[in-house]
A and B are shown apart, each in its own frame.
Chain A
Amino acid sequence: KQEVTQIPAALSVPEGENLVLNCSFTDSAIYNLQWFRQDPGKGLTSLLLIQSSQREQTSGRLNASLDKSSGRSTLYIAASQPGDSATYLCAVTKAAGNKLTFGGGTRVLVKP
């Protein structure tokens, strides 16, 4: 059974510092991995999707890497801003299936 873990559960950084968020998964037979952002009282917004054949994806200040062999993905957010404060979740899609398995999320606070 696939298990997805995100450590730490919470993170606080000063504005301007780079954010590094970790995601690990137990079964490397994944189809893709997605990173989501969740604001309080809201649904999830998809940030980046990395296909299993890719090593990384970039969008603006966000960069996500994927190392299937070690079961890890990292989301980098450059030059953090208070508006980046949110909970970030990763999720993997198993091979030949369309169901996502989510991690518990990392709650991020960027202090002005």
Chain B
Amino acid sequence: NAGVTQTPKFRILKIGQSMTLQCTQDMNHNYMYWYRQDPGMGLKLIYYSVGAGITDKGEVPNGYNVSRSTTEDFPLRLELAAPSQTSVYFCASRSPTAGLADNSPLHFGNGTRLTVT
């Protein structure tokens, strides 16, 4: 069981370039999330999705876009990379237990370390 898989693991971008961070999960989870983690800081929510075709903004969505065409995949798109987007990006998923949607634990991928120069 692979869990949550993120690719690539590392990437260096020049300012203004674009890229897509891939995230896929094989646990049939409905809820998926993108977080960024800056050094010494907690994780900040970028976007999340409660199911295929449904996405919503988190705390820090500016400069990013997402799509959720399938249950398994939740890619994160950076259109015009900026140095402020240098960070480690984590994808996570969880399965809502009937009637207790928020009480299921999050499963995380191993992260994508992105540097924008």
What residues of chain A have their CB less than 8 Å away from a CB belonging to chain B? 4, 9, 31-32, 34, 36, 41-46, 49, 51, 89, 91, 93, 97-105
Q: Is B102 a contact partner of A34 (Cβ separation < 8 A)?
A: no
Q: Which residues of A contact B107 (CB under 8 A)?
A: 46
- The answer, yes or no, to whether B76 is at the interface (CB within 8 Å) is no
What residues of chain B have their CB less than 8 Å away from a CB belonging to chain A? 4, 31, 35, 40-45, 48, 50, 58-59, 90, 92, 96, 101-103, 105-111
Q: Is A31 a contact partner of B90 (Cβ separation < 8 A)?
A: no
Q: Is B40 a contact partner of A32 (Cβ separation < 8 A)?
A: no
Nearest A residue to B45 via CB reads: A99
Q: Is B111 a contact partner of A42 (Cβ separation < 8 A)?
A: yes
Q: Which residues of A contact B92 (CB under 8 A)?
A: 43-44
Q: Is B110 a contact partner of A98 (Cβ separation < 8 A)?
A: no
Nearest A residue to B107 via CB reads: A46
Q: Is B105 a contact partner of A98 (Cβ separation < 8 A)?
A: no
Q: Is A102 a contact partner of B106 (Cβ separation < 8 A)?
A: no
Q: Is B106 a contact partner of A34 (Cβ separation < 8 A)?
A: yes
**What are 26 A-B contacts with C-beta separation under 8 Å?**
A4-B42, A9-B40, A32-B102, A34-B105, A34-B106, A41-B110, A41-B111, A42-B110, A43-B90, A43-B92, A43-B109, A51-B103, A89-B43, A91-B42, A98-B50, A98-B102, A99-B48, A99-B58, A100-B106, A101-B42, A102-B35, A102-B42, A102-B43, A103-B42, A104-B41, A104-B42
- CB < 8 Å: which of A36, A41, A104 contacts B40? A104
Q: Is A43 a contact partner of B111 (Cβ separation < 8 A)?
A: yes
Q: Is A89 a contact partner of B106 (Cβ separation < 8 A)?
A: no
Please measure, in the bound complex, the distance between the C-alpha atom of A104 and the C-alpha atom of B37, giving whole angstroms: 9
